[in-house]
Structure 1
């Protein structure tokens, strides 16, 4: 049995009632599922968003608190950006 005989036997055993559209249906469903998942990632549900967005300082800086033990009420907040 050669390779071409094997291919012919596979094509002859397929169901003649199946069409190309039937074979593409699972592919379309998987593409639709992927689009729905991408839509959920890019556009989150509004109910899960905070009422007000975080400030630029909160989102871009790490805050430190430096306490001054020598002079009362001279404590400092230090904000450090990621680039130093």
Structure 2
């Protein structure tokens, strides 16, 4: 979110923020009418993806390769922050 806000300061057309470094995450601007979790449908909202933990519940197990598993097992936190 901070990345998008910083870029948006210089360019009001900025629609996404993306971090790719020691981890990754993204956010984007969404129309309120597409967001069921809050009331109201006017305006826009910043959606923070928080995708780093995607797969921690096993949803990626079917597509993980032997290399994915090897790297994960050698990490500081095996089974966490898989994506």
TM-score normalised by the chain length of structure 2: 0.21
TM-score normalised by the chain length of structure 1: 0.21
More helix by share: 1
More strand by share: 2
Q: Decide which structure has the larger Cα Rg and report it.
A: 1
Q: Which has the higher contact order (CA 8 A, sep 6+)?
A: 2
